[in-house]
Every structure is written in structure tokens, then in C-alpha cells.
Amino acid sequence: MSGFFYAGRDFSPYVQAELVEPAAHALEPRAFSVSGRPGAMLLGSELPPREVRLLLHLDAGSQMTGLELSRLRALLRAWLCAPGGGDLSVPGEGSLTWRDVVVTGVSDWDSLFEGGSCAVDFTCYDPVAYGAGRSCTGTEVEVLGTWPTLPVVRLTAAAGSSVKVADEDGRYVLVERDLFAGDEVVMDFSAESVTVDGEGASADVAVESAFFSLSPGAHVLTFSGCSAHEVAWTERWL
């Protein structure tokens, strides 16, 4: 057991947390019925939000006065109430963090302050956890994790009319505009946006461009129209 972090709050000075191992992800299929055909035609599947349950144990509760316990109860209740959601880092999951997390259930809350424990249910609306941040200035990229990640590519432009980054499958992002030597071009593949020296340049992205993801494993990227580059990404873990 160890402490946990939620919505910018460190709970470790007050409670210890034990992760109740969540079940494997169950997919939500998309299908439609076809007249005259048994069953249905499968169109694909979606990954739903993930449920995570923590068992909380109060630290040093027996040494607290009634007033101190009352104040701690109010404090923890307020910390767990984050209507806009927050990041969750839990014990047993290394350095992984879930984002867009909301508390959706609490059981045995009173027993936590009576020498026992309580269970808190979190719903992770972004169900794939975020791991370590990585970067590379070469052309060979090794992506760890178990889920594709969307990179951020920073290019130092050479004087010319375009910059381009492509992967080994032929997917690419091409920015066509007049560039001066030293211009910084930032391609954010998650936001599908491009800036040049901090100003929006998404209108200059060629229509055939595809902001591709990097699946776990080895990749070879090619760059043109630039004198230097950096690829940054965050590992994703299912």
C-alpha cells in the first residue's frame, strides 16, 4: 500500500491506498442488423471508460481527536469532489497516470474514520494510462507501451517552401509555406495542429496529410526541409 495523487492533491500524509485490480477492458461493439442474416454485422469496437477502485486506510487515525477527525473528513471529502475531473496516480501502477478521472462511488465512508477502510470508485474517461515522456532527435524511434501514442514533432526549418515528416508506411504531414532558416515548426499530432514560431499555421498543412500515431515498437521517420528535429511522445499503457 502507498499514497495516491488525485486532481493535484497528495493524499499520502493522510491515507494509504490499495488498488483493487480492475478487470480487463471489455470492449463495446458497434454493429447493425442485416435483414435476412442471423445476428448482426460487426462494424468495430470502442474502448469505454475504465473503472478503478481504491481501498483507503486512514494513517494515524487512532491518535486524532474527534475534532481532528471531523476536519480531516471534511478535507478528504472536498479533495475527492472534483467536478471537472483530474489526474489519478495509484499504487501498484508504477509511474502511470490516468487523465479525465472523476469519483463516481464511495462505500463505507464512515468506517474509514472509525479504524477501518472505505472503497472509492474512480471512472477514467480517458481509459489508456499515460507513462513516461520520451524524445528522440534521430530517425529511428522506439516506442514503449501497449497503445499507440500521438507525438509532437519540432522542426528547425531550412530556408525553403515546405517541411515534411513521414513514417515507414508512407503517412506524412506536409506544411507548405515560405520558411526562413531557423523558423521553429511544431506539429502537434494529437491536436492535429501546426505552428510556425508560435503562430498558427494549420491552414498551410497539405490536404493529403495524415497526423499519424506511433504504435508500440520500432519506427523509422524521415524529415525534409529542416536542419534539425525532435520527436516527443508519451508512452500509453492499456
Per-residue buried b or exposed e for 205-236, using 16+ beta carbons within 10 Å of the residue's own CB: beeebebbbbebeebebebebbeebebebbbb
Listed in sequence order, the residues at least 6 apart from 203 whose beta carbon sits closer than 8 Å to its beta carbon are none
Residue ranges and CATH numbers for the domains of the chain are 5-131 (2.40.30.200), 137-237 (2.60.120.860)
Q: What's the whole-model pTM score?
A: 0.83
Residue 215 grid cell:
504504435
**Phi, psi values for residue 78, rounded to 5°:** -65, -40
Strand partners of residue 237: 129
Q: Is 167 left (phi over 0), alpha (psi -120 to 50) or beta?
A: beta
**Looking at residue 81, what is its pLDDT?**
93
The residues pairing with 228 across neighbouring beta strands, listed in sequence order, are: 156
Which ranges of 39-152 would DSSP assign to H, the alpha helix? 66-80, 109-112
**Residue 175: predicted pLDDT:** 98
Distance from C-alpha of 66 to C-alpha of 34, rounded to nearest angstrom: 65
Cα 161 from Cα 127, distance rounded (Å) = 40
Instruction: List the chain pLDDT tens, one digit each, 238 residues.
Output: 577 999 999 998 889 888 886 656 778 888 888 888 888 888 888 889 998 899 999 876 567 788 988 899 999 999 999 999 999 998 666 778 999 999 999 998 888 888 788 999 999 999 999 999 999 999 999 999 999 999 999 999 999 999 999 999 999 999 999 999 999 999 999 999 999 999 999 999 999 999 999 999 999 999 999 999 999 999 999 8
Which cell numbers hold the place of 53?
477502485
Residue pair 56/28 in contact (Cβ under 8 Å)? The answer is no
Q: 44 near 30, Cβ under 8 Å? A: yes
The contacts of residue 72 (CB under 8 Å, 6+ apart) are 14, 64, 113
In Å, how far from its chain's centre is CA 184? 26
Would you state the pLDDT for residue 6?
96
**Which three cell numbers, joined as nine digits, stand for 229?**
528535429
